[in-house]
Amino acid sequence: MTTTAPITASTRPAPDPMRRRARTAGVLYLLTFVSIPTLSLYKPVKDDVGAFLLGAGSDTGVMAGAMLEVIIGLAGISTAVVLFPVLKRQNHSAALGIVTARLVETSLIFVGAVSLLTVVTLRTDVVGTAGTDPAALLTTGHALVATYTWTFLLSQSLMPVFVDLLLGYLLYRSGLVPRILPLIAFVGAPLLLLSDIAIFFGVYENVSPLALVAAVPIAVFEFSFGIYLIVKGFKPGAVAALQAGQAVR
């Protein structure tokens, strides 16, 4: 009878930190898609803020939407932080630009969420109290919803243009992922930018079919990128090349 020596901890392959980093970044990218339900959760307050202040619709839905946006903001900046040590090996300035754009995006997302939470506070704590001016409340409510609309455009629509252009450039040059992914970003980012400009000048609204269609390529890029990082991770050859290049420098 033959026996085999038990596998000890010292003989097990060490976990690949780069693989773990890629998987973490992929999960965070998928987390940024939890914003989708906010389109319906915010509908009562965005459709008729006056009726919402008087009790129409659910304030629980608005609060849940704000919580989802907090998650989106934290996940977004986390993707940049997790990827930075890898991407900076290709181009430090571009990698830092991604972190900066994500930070601006997250800050604006939080401003938008706070504006709608303030509407909820007006509804629950101010409306109906003695000496309240209904006209002033309505004006304030509209101003807060307008703040959300503009911060949404600048944060979750405009900032991804810069993030994904820089990310696409770094991914294409480094070869960390299949080149089809950054090519999607190169197509989607300018298309989304043109749509944002059209929305800014009032050509159509940010919830119009044209705006949704313009956002599809960037959504496809970010979702596919997240899935690829979880399933495959970075290409080992590209990682080795970046490490070798950094060692030469």
Mean pLDDT (the chain, rounded):
91
Judge whether 112 lies within some domain. Answer: yes
Judge whether 12 lies within some domain. Answer: no
Read off the pLDDT of each residue in 140-162 and give the average, rounded to a whole number. 96
**Shortest CA distance to 153 belongs to which of 214, 92, 98, 99?**
214
Judge whether 9 lies within some domain. Answer: no
Judge whether 160 lies within some domain. Answer: yes
Read off the pLDDT of each residue in 65-87 and give the average, rounded to a whole number. 96
Q: Are 21 and 85 in contact (CB under 8 A)?
A: yes
Q: Which domain holds residue 113?
A: 18-125+134-237
Predicted confidence at residue 62, as pLDDT, reads 93
DSSP sequence for 26-93: HHHHHHGGGGTTHHHHTHHHHH-HHHHHTT-S-HHHHHHHHHHHHHHHHHHHHHHHHHHHHHTTT-HH
Judge whether 247 lies within some domain. Answer: no
Number of domains in the chain: 1
Predicted confidence at residue 130, as pLDDT, reads 74
208-236 pLDDT, tens digit per residue, is 999 999 999 999 999 999 999 999 999 99
